[in-house]
């Protein structure tokens, strides 16, 4: 882990501690094979992003996400979180939920794409390629993923940035990735290496707060379950900050902090909004769409209202 003195999103040094926190039982076991331990949640006074400090480094992220949501991952997680059953794990890729997600993303993208044609689309950090497969009519889907999981049929896997650079993509997606990584700007800079002047870049993240009423109620319920079923783990969480877990989401974004991230690397923001999301998790998603600085925006056809 690496402690930072500047914001990993906008680079500001206006950081303040927002709360004591604890590394969740699952992360502590999965990455370091140790019990939960204290950390802190920090807030950036410039862009508003909240993040845990110190930060996960790339080799720690690789240990966490190796075989993501596969049998070994699921078993390890359920050992620390009894509620994370195989059935719940499977619900996260439920076909109806994914279809609704694809429909919403496609609706946003069509506003900024010039015409219907077989777009080459890369899902950056997209696991098996569930989101990008059949996203737009006739699209050619690719996925770049560090966990080395097998892509779906019809999705071409790129396992290195060099492989990505061999293709010219019309659209690069990055969905539900930046909240997981210690250094979001590194991911954005990697996308920038793959993008061309004509590439549309679309990023979305959960818009959530670690102190929301629903999050606090969830943590209280989980603590009760742990005290009943995993008492040694539950007792280790009975400390200041014990309801604020550093879990898989190590950053908390909103629309403003997502726009600040684009601007910090010099991208032009074409649009940024949020939308509600259903399914097993719920909540809202924040998204931004942009392009490399100084590149003309795609000419979109205006559809009469």
**168 and 216 assigned to the same domain:** no
How confident is the model at residue 86, as a pLDDT? 93
Report percent pLDDT > 90 for the chain. 77
**41 and 184 assigned to the same domain:** no
| Total Cβ atoms within 10 A of residue 92 | 13
Angle at 191 between CA 77 and CA 169, to 5 degrees: 110
| Mean pLDDT computed over 211-227 | 94
CA diameter of the chain: 62
Residue 165 within any structural domain of the chain: yes
Residue 298 within any structural domain of the chain: no
> Quick check: helix, strand or coil at residue 143?
strand
**60 and 153 assigned to the same domain:** no
How confident is the model at residue 280, as a pLDDT? 65
Structure tokens at 300: 């979109």
Residue 145 within any structural domain of the chain: yes
Structure tokens at 17: 């501690």
How confident is the model at residue 301, as a pLDDT? 41
**135 and 274 assigned to the same domain:** yes
pLDDT digits (tens, 9 = 90+) for 56-75: 999 999 899 888 888 999 99
How confident is the model at residue 83, as a pLDDT? 96
Helix axes 255-264, 184-194, angle to 10 degrees: 60
Structure tokens at 256: 């403003």
**116 and 26 assigned to the same domain:** no
| Mean pLDDT computed over 152-165 | 93
How confident is the model at residue 268, as a pLDDT? 94
Residue 47 within any structural domain of the chain: yes
Residue 200 within any structural domain of the chain: yes
Q: Phi and psi (nearest 5°) for 91?
A: -65, -20
Mean of pLDDT over the chain? 91
Quote the number of domains for the chain.
2
- Dist CA 44 CA 256 (whole Å): 12
How confident is the model at residue 61, as a pLDDT? 92
Residue 81 within any structural domain of the chain: yes
* Residue 296 pLDDT > 80: no
Q: Which residue has the tokens 């049998």?
A: 71
> Quick check: helix, strand or coil at residue 239?
coil
Quote the domain boundaries for residue 215: 15-91+209-248
Closest alpha carbon to 157 in 182, 193, 132, 190? 132
Residue 193's CATH number:
3.40.50.150
**243 and 105 assigned to the same domain:** no
Structure tokens at 167: 């293709």
**281 and 189 assigned to the same domain:** yes
Edge-first strand listing for the sheet containing 171-175:
156-158, 140-144, 120-124, 171-175, 200-207, 284-291, 268-276
Residue 237 within any structural domain of the chain: yes
Closest alpha carbon to 72 in 147, 155, 128? 147
- Specify which residues 22 forms β-bridges with: 38, 245
Q: Phi and psi (nearest 5°) for 159?
A: -100, -10
**76 and 173 assigned to the same domain:** no
Place 240 in a pLDDT band, splitting at 50, 70 and 90. Answer: very high
Q: Note whether 46 and 10 are within 8 A (CB).
A: yes
Structure tokens at 282: 């719920």
pLDDT digits (tens, 9 = 90+) for 253-279: 999 999 999 999 999 999 999 998 876
**39 and 67 assigned to the same domain:** yes
Place 145 in a pLDDT band, splitting at 50, 70 and 90. Answer: confident
Place 303 in a pLDDT band, splitting at 50, 70 and 90. Answer: very low
**190 and 276 assigned to the same domain:** yes
Residue 302 within any structural domain of the chain: no
**67 and 30 assigned to the same domain:** yes
Closest alpha carbon to 40 in 239, 256, 186, 295? 239
pLDDT digits (tens, 9 = 90+) for 71-90: 999 999 999 999 999 999 88
Place 300 in a pLDDT band, splitting at 50, 70 and 90. Answer: very low
**129 and 278 assigned to the same domain:** yes
């Amino acid at each position: 882990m690496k402690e930072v003195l500047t914001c990993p999103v906008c680079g500001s040094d206006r950081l303040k501690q927002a709360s004591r926190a604890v590394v969740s039982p699952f992360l502590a076991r999965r990455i370091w094979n140790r019990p939960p331990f204290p950390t802190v949640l920090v807030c950036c006074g410039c862009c508003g992003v909240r993040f845990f400090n110190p930060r996960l480094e790339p080799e720690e992220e690789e240990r966490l996400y190796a075989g993501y949501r596969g049998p070994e991952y699921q078993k390890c997680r359920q050992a620390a979180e009894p509620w994370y059953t195989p059935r719940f794990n499977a619900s996260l890729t439920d076909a109806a939920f994914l279809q609704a997600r694809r429909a919403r993303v496609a609706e946003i993208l069509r506003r900024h794409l010039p015409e219907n044609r077989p777009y080459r689309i890369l899902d950056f950090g997209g696991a098996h390629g569930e989101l990008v497969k059949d996203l737009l009519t006739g699209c050619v889907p690719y996925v770049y993923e560090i966990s080395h999981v097998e892509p779906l049929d019809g999705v071409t896997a790129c396992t290195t940035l060099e492989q990505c650079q061999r293709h010219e993509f019309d659209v690069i997606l990055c969905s539900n990735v930046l909240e997981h990584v210690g250094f979001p700007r590194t991911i954005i800079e990697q996308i920038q290496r793959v993008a061309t002047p004509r590439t549309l870049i679309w990023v979305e993240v959960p818009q959530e707060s670690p102190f929301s009423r629903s999050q606090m109620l969830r943590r209280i319920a989980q603590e009760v379950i742990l005290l009943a079923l995993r008492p040694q783990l539950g007792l280790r969480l009975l400390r200041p900050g014990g309801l604020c877990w550093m879990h898989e989401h190590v950053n908390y974004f909103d629309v403003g902090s997502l726009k600040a991230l684009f601007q910090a690397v010099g991208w032009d923001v074409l649009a940024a909004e949020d939308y509600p999301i259903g399914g097993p998790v719920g909540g809202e998603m924040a998204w931004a769409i942009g392009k490399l600085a100084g590149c003309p925006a795609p000419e979109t056809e205006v559809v009469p209202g």
